[in-house]
Amino acid sequence: MIAVVLAALQFVGALASGDVGSPLVLVASLLGAASVLLVVAVVLVSRWAHTVPDARGRPAPTGNADLPALITQSNPDAPGHARPRAPGFVTRRAA
């Protein structure tokens, strides 16, 4: 972003000095724009490469789990789960 601002300021400076028709200013502005576009393209490609999921990283599951098994595994209060109790917890009601 800073390079774009600097390229724009360079062009404004060339306009102010009257060197717009000079071939050197044209070449310099073209090289500046090309380098800015190259940097933007490299950044975008590197971000894309880091966000694309790796197909070798985690294989897809081979079978489908049934819904009751998933509910039982994910709900600790479901029947069949032993609930952890604090030491000294009394399950009987004191009379």
Q: What is the pLDDT of residues 29-87, one digit of tens each?
A: 777 778 888 888 998 888 887 776 665 666 666 666 677 777 666 666 766 666 666 66
pLDDT on residue 49: 77
User: Rounded to 5, what percent of the chain is helix, strand, coil?
Assistant: 55, 0, 45
What are the pLDDT digits (tens) for 74-83? Answer: 666 766 666 6
- Tell me how crowded residue 40 is: count the other CB atoms within 10 A of its CB: 13
d(CA 32, CA 10): 9
CB atoms within 10 A of CB 12: 10
Decide: helix, strand or coil at residue 82: coil
The answer to whether the CB of 33 falls within 8 A of the CB of 8 is no
pLDDT at 90 over 80: no
